[in-house]
A and B are shown apart, each in its own frame.
Chain A
């Protein structure tokens, strides 16, 4: 397996535009997590799914953020409209069991200008 795959690796967009980040988890993993990395808060959990169902989205900062997992092999994190303070690195991670280590993708570096 190629690991967790995120796309794009880098995204630069103008304020107000819609941004969609994509993630392909490792096959067979039932859990998928979206994190945002910032200097102040480190790795911040935004939302996680179990068997494609969103379980906890309490970390999603605002209604501008939404996430979906239409099937076991694909998830998206959407920001609409984007703002400069959304600039960060966004990571997707997956695991087969909640009490085991999660495997991370390489991240998407988002810059909103």
Chain B
């Protein structure tokens, strides 16, 4: 049973435009959410996170939005750059366990 879902396996965006990556979760006990970025042949690296007490967190070109009622989070990248091309994973942690549960990933391609 996939508790964290990224329904778009891939996304293609033109350089300079906004990239929006989406993530849905089913477990209402999740209270901390993260996005990771993964390049080929490398391990995932942390990008940005958000606590359930917030609905938005911004770091430079990256902004994460959280809609708790819809159990949905999104990552906005603006402006998108070719170096952003990678696989993006969302991840969730629940307050009653220490498990870090990942989604299936979205492959982002930013073209010139």
Contacts and interface: CB of A to CB of B under 8 A. Distances in A.
Tell me whether A and B are bound partners. Answer: yes
A56 B71 CA distance: 24
Contacts of B43: 4, 91, 93, 104-107
Interface string B64-95: 00000000000000000000000001010100
A102 B44 CA distance: 9
A4 B32 CA distance: 23
Interface in A88-108: 91, 93, 98-99, 101-107
Contacts, number: 57
A33 B36 CA distance: 15
B2 interface: yes
A100 to B, nearest CB: 8
Interface in A13-65: 31, 33, 35, 40-45, 48, 50, 55-56
Interface in A62-113: 91, 93, 98-99, 101-107
A91 B45 CA distance: 12
Nearest to B102: A43
Tier of interface size on chain A: 20 to 34
Contact of A43 (B32, B41, B42, B105): B105
Contacts of B105: 42-43
A22 to B, nearest CB: 15
Contacts of B44: 43, 91, 104
A31 to B, nearest CB: 6
Interface of A: 4, 31, 33, 35, 40-45, 48, 50, 55-56, 91, 93, 98-99, 101-107
Interface of B: 2, 6, 32, 34, 36, 41-46, 49, 89, 91, 93, 97-105
